[in-house]
Structure 1
Amino acid sequence: MATKDGAPPVLDFSAFHGSDTKAREQLIADINAACRDKGFFQLTNTSVPRELQDRILAAAKEFFDLPLDEKMKCDLRSNKYHRGYETLGAQMLEPGTTPDKKEAIYFGEDLQEDHPRVIAGDYNCGPNLYPPSLGQAFRDTCTEYYAAAMALAQDIMVALALGLGLEPTWFDSFVRVDPSATLRLIHYPPTPTLGANERGVGAHRDFGCVTLLLQDAIGGLQVQDERTGQWLDVTPVPGAFVVNMGNAMMRWTNHQFTSNTHRVMNYSTHDRYSVPFFFNGNAKHVLSTIPGCETRKDTSDRAYGPPLGEGAYEPIVLRDFLFQQFTESYARVQPQAA
């Protein structure tokens, strides 16, 4: 259903697996329209059980409640796989602001160092770091949630293909052959008096293909209407995932789909927890403009993108595209740390 204030729509995903053909077609159309508008929507009644959603949010709180020395046993800087704990203020996604007021821990597909893909240096492949003090239950919850989010992301990619007039299997080699993804648990301390240049997470666009965000009830996520500059609240809906397109998908569709600017402003007096799942797909895949998207839509009101006009982007390997954007976001913090 559409929202009155222009915020991302809330859509019932149960029709995707249902037997009502008209309801499924309407869902596909609504997802396609949302991707072409702000690139954001919320999905209810997905394949990820509510009980598992509750467990992963509880696991996030459990981890961030640990003393700093315990969290640092999973130090992100201790390995080359970009897995583990990221301290408060380690990233700055919006130029000109202070470092983001959040801490996080990164996970991916848990592949040990002797796995062939790790030995080969495949993108985002390596072993996860888990806090020893939280035991096997924490690890099992993260592993189970990662698999469930991956399955949902693969379903969403089918929906995107259908919305673009493609066969439902069009993305299969991208989403089912060595797909890359990052699961991130995030904690935002209470910041009820944020200064003018302070953010929970600064205004940014996501780098990858599709993001699935599970947020708690605190709120704070905002998406920008880039035509008016207005910030719109993405109000938490119990059991729902916030879904948004990333820069890779915007590039792949030649701006038919939008990767929109968003931020987090935790004005609450409470801690906020969220669990984004960044689905990238096969990092070796070459992004060449999707059939039917050869003509770029007018993006004159957007800061992202090449000069306007017809034509498509030059093909690029997804891994190279992601690495460039990821490096830039962390480089912004370095002068502050000097």
Structure 2
Amino acid sequence: MHIPIIDFSAFLDSTSSDHVKLEVAKNLDQACREVGFFYLSGHGIDPSLFSDMLSNAKQFFTTASTEEKDRIKVRPSGEGTGDDSRGYRVVERADAGYEAVDFLREIETDGPPYTRGLGRNQWPQTPESLRSTAEEYTTHLETLGVAIMKAFALALDVPEETFASRVDQSFWQLRLAAYPGVPEGLDQTKSGLYQHSDFGILTFLLTDDHKGSLKVLAPNGEDWLSADPVPGALICNIGDMLSVWTDGIYKSTQHKVLHTSQDMRISIPFFFDPNWNARIEPVLGNAEKKSKGEGVNYKDVFTGAIKYPY
């Protein structure tokens, strides 16, 4: 399996012809049908912002005190300001482990107490620039996510608004994650994140320069290929919900993290998901399926996928 590099700049250029934009859209379409992963260049984001995001994340994980991390830890919904979703956590499983801090789109709602997913972000104070940098980064990726959904609509020959109207207030999730280094001599097969597919629409992934950590399942269902970082590009993959939306034409690909370096690995996924109240139904496929109203409500999928405690 080859993970293609797609230059998206022409689609973002208002002077590009319809023909050129269609070619870019077709490249995305092919990647989603055949691989489910692609590298995105020509995204219009200054590389310095990538560097700032990575350095801020690393500074938080390496210098924030235990007390600060505890102050912003994820807490159960219905208790105080908790919503099961936002804040710092340490994920420990038999086959994996990492620490992370999560931020999500804030929606106007009554509370506290909050229901699952509908709380308020807990921003660290260390480093001071983390919040402003993350908010700038999020703004860019929200815009980019909408543009890619418009490209998908063009390639699939469906009305642009079919997708765009359901992601214009994307319930995004930004995660800063740190995978600890594995000391020499310890079992290096149990460091990272278990095999999974993402449940949403589209994931933008920014990582440091560690190679060999992100593994993507090949089409034969047996081999694992490394999706190593490409300078200046974002690693992108589609999720289960986009598969539902396209009636299975786009398939989400299983992947995992197997971090074996002795150094900490910083990973920053941005999950670009539908609007909180969006209903996602197949827009392709046979008329019978569409007439039955098959589909999912995004908020139901999200609240079902979040599990507390970790």
Equivalent in the alignment of 1:71 = 69
**Mapping 1:217-236, distance limit 5 Å:** 217-219=209-211, 220-236=213-229
**Aligned match of 1:37 in 31, 34, 57?**
34
The answer to whether the Cα contact below 8 Å between 2:60 and 2:126 also exists between their aligned partners in 1 is no
Corresponding residue number in structure 1 for 2:105: 109
Deviation at 1:110, TM superposition (A): 4.5
* TM-score for both structures, normalised by structure 2: 0.87
**Percent sequence identity over aligned pairs:** 29
- CA distance in 2 between counterparts of 1:146 and 1:225 reads 30
The equivalent residue for 1:336 is none
Distance 1:117 1:250 in 2: 33
Q: Does 1:170 align with 2:134?
A: no
* Residue-pair matches, total: 300
Contact 1:83 1:107 in 2 (8 A): yes
Asked if 1:87 corresponds to 2:87, the answer is no
Cα deviation, residue 80, structure 1? 1.5
| 1:322 correspondence with 2:299 | no
CA drift at 1:165: 1.1
Match of 2:151 in 1: 159
Contact residue 215 and residue 275 of structure 1 kept, 8 A: yes
Equivalent position of 1:139 in the other structure: 131
Q: Secondary structure at the match of 2:273?
A: strand
What is the TM-score with the length of structure 1 in the denominator? 0.80
Unaligned runs of 5+ in 1: 1-5, 93-97, 297-308, 334-338
Report if aligned partners of 2:105, 2:170 keep a CA contact under 8 Å in 1. no
- How far did residue 36 of structure 1 move? 0.8
Instruction: Give the direction of change, closer, same or farther, for the CA distance of 1:255–1:118 in structure 2 (3 Å limit).
Output: farther
Q: What does residue 300 of structure 1 align with? A: none
Pick closer, same or farther for the CA change 1:228–1:312 going to 2, 3 Å: farther
Match of 1:215 in 2: 207
The residue number in structure 2 matching 1:266 is 259
Question: What's the Cα RMSD here?
Answer: 2.8
| 1:129 and 2:131 aligned | no
Alignment of 1:297-308 (within 5 A): none
List structure 1 segments (4+ residues) > 3 angstroms apart after TM superposition.
Answer: 20-23, 115-125, 192-197, 309-313
Gaps of 5+ in 2: 77-81
